[in-house]
């Protein structure tokens, strides 16, 4: 890989890491076109994908992709058997050459459900991949690449492109924020730049973060709880509203009481209640100043010193006992 391209890809992946929480090993979904292209250009899958994404990768083929591949393979075998003059044998390898064994590219189980929650079983490859990439949204949920999948694809054959109900997976995947797309074109593996939707999602998060800086922590928690992703305008309006309400709170913690350092001590009162000179020596401030020097080396300090010495001695004792033994 050319150095400049490699550097660019590293940068792209780091923005997926920062903005969409992608982590190694990356989960890469390979489609049938990708497998075919890599096989025909003799590109080892694991090595090429890892070089492109600059990190460890787990490659997967979905159940629906496998079904499509095996179905096409079966039909091809039958066609050969029907049209072939070699005894009409339907014999051949159990799997097409371009499909790697499951030890190399394991199967990704996928359960597709419609909005009513009914299981759909095996669906078309494109639908399957887009369903997984969009985080299998229900109802009016927003598409979100929750599992952090990477899509690896290639151009479909022309016959398939013109076929009925053809869905361009790459084009549709660009509409889901945070989906890295790898594709093979003429023996080169390419990592697409972030799609417009992804860029917009990043900008929106950045704007929100900036807003939060002004608004404060409380609103950030509230917003996260709501988990609103795509309603930009509403979010902005929210920000403005909150600016008025919580701007004062920002960065300030209300003191629970007066500053203890600036408060006058209450001992004056005690002195008033106690007749001067009477009672025990409670504290130095209340006593006449001239008594202070005598206090310094007075009984209290001496008593405290005694106490600490005793403590030290008792602490030493066990070791003193243990030493002769050992
Ligand atoms: Zn599927």
Instruction: Please compute the mean of the pLDDT values over residues 102-115 and round it to a whole number.
Output: 90
pLDDT score at 244: 47
Q: How far apart are CA 62 and CA 107, in angstroms?
A: 6
Measured in Å, residue 31 CA sits from the centre of ligand 1 at 11
Q: Quickly state the pLDDT bin for 218 (edges 50, 70, 90).
A: low
CATH class of 3-194: alpha beta
Over residues 29-49, the pLDDT tens digits come to 999 999 999 999 999 999 999
Q: How far apart are CA 268 and CA 288, in angstroms?
A: 13
Measured in Å, residue 123 CA sits from the centre of ligand 1 at 6
Measured in Å, residue 72 CA sits from the centre of ligand 1 at 16
pLDDT score at 6: 93
Tokens of 53: 């994404």
| E strand intervals along 2-121 | 26-30, 57-62, 107-108
Q: Quickly state the pLDDT bin for 294 (edges 50, 70, 90).
A: low
Measured in Å, residue 49 CA sits from the centre of ligand 1 at 22
Place of tokens 């000179």: 277
Kindly list the domain boundaries of the chain, sorted by start residue. Answer: 3-194, 200-246
CB-based contact 150:28 (threshold 8 Å): yes
Measured in Å, residue 107 CA sits from the centre of ligand 1 at 10
Task: Give me the chain's average pLDDT, please.
Answer: 77
Closest CA to 15 of 242, 239, 193: 193
Q: How far apart are CA 201 and CA 258, in angstroms?
A: 46
Kindly provide the ipTM of the predicted complex, given to two decimals.
0.99
Examine the pLDDT at 227 and tell me if it is beyond 80. no
Tokens of 48: 């090429």
Closest CA to 181 of 126, 171, 136, 297: 171
Instruction: Please compute the mean of the pLDDT values over residues 87-98 and round it to a whole number.
Output: 70
Measured in Å, residue 58 CA sits from the centre of ligand 1 at 17
pLDDT score at 107: 94
pLDDT score at 250: 56
Measured in Å, residue 110 CA sits from the centre of ligand 1 at 5
pLDDT score at 15: 93
Over residues 132-145, the pLDDT tens digits come to 999 888 878 888 99
Instruction: Please compute the mean of the pLDDT values over residues 230-255 and round it to a whole number.
Output: 50
Q: Quickly state the pLDDT bin for 257 (edges 50, 70, 90).
A: confident
Instruction: Please compute the mean of the pLDDT values over residues 261-272 and round it to a whole number.
Output: 66
Q: What angle do CA 65, 59, 177 make, to 5 degrees?
A: 80
pLDDT score at 140: 80
Higher pLDDT, 86 or 18: 18
Over residues 303-322, the pLDDT tens digits come to 565 655 555 555 554 544 44
Measured in Å, residue 36 CA sits from the centre of ligand 1 at 19
**Range of weakest confidence among 40-49, 71-80, 85-94, 285-294:** 285-294
The secondary structure of residue 266, as a DSSP letter, is T
Higher pLDDT, 39 or 208: 39
**Range of weakest confidence among 82-86, 147-151, 154-158, 229-233:** 229-233
CB-based contact 72:62 (threshold 8 Å): no
Over residues 48-71, the pLDDT tens digits come to 999 999 999 999 999 999 999 999
CB-based contact 151:133 (threshold 8 Å): yes
Examine the pLDDT at 11 and tell me if it is beyond 50. yes
């Amino acid at each position: 890989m050319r150095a400049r391209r490699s550097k660019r890809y590293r940068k792209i992946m780091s923005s997926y890491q920062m903005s969409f929480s992608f982590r190694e090993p990356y989960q890469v979904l390979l489609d049938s076109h990708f497998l075919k292209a890599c096989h025909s250009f003799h590109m080892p899958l694991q090595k090429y994908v890892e070089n492109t994404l600059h990190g460890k990768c787990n490659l997967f083929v979905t159940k629906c992709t496998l079904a499509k591949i095996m179905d096409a393979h079966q039909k091809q075998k039958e066609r050969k058997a029907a049209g072939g003059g070699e005894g009409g044998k339907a014999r051949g390898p159990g799997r097409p050459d371009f499909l790697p064994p499951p030890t190399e590219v394991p199967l990704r189980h996928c359960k597709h459900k419609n909005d009513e929650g009914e299981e759909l079983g095996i669906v078309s490859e494109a639908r399957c991949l887009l369903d997984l990439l969009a985080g299998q949204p229900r109802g009016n949920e927003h598409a979100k690449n929750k599992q952090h999948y990477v899509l690896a694809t290639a151009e479909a054959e022309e016959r398939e492109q013109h076929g009925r109900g053809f869905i361009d997976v790459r084009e549709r995947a660009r509409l889901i924020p945070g989906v890295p797309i790898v594709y093979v074109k003429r023996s080169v593996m390419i990592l697409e730049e972030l799609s417009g939707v992804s860029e917009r999602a990043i900008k929106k998060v950045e704007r929100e973060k900036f807003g939060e800086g002004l608004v404060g922590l409380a609103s950030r928690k509230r917003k996260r709880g709501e988990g609103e992703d795509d309603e930009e305008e509403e979010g902005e309006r929210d920000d403005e509203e909150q600016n008025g309400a919580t701007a004062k709170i920002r960065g300030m913690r209300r003191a629970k009481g007066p500053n203890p350092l600036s408060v006058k001590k209450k001992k004056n009162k005690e002195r008033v209640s106690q007749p001067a000179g009477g009672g025990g020596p409670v504290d130095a401030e209340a006593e006449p100043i001239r008594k202070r020097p005598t206090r310094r080396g007075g009984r209290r300090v001496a008593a405290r010193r005694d106490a600490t010495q005793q403590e030290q001695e008792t602490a030493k004792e066990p070791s003193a006992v243990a030493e002769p033994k050992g």
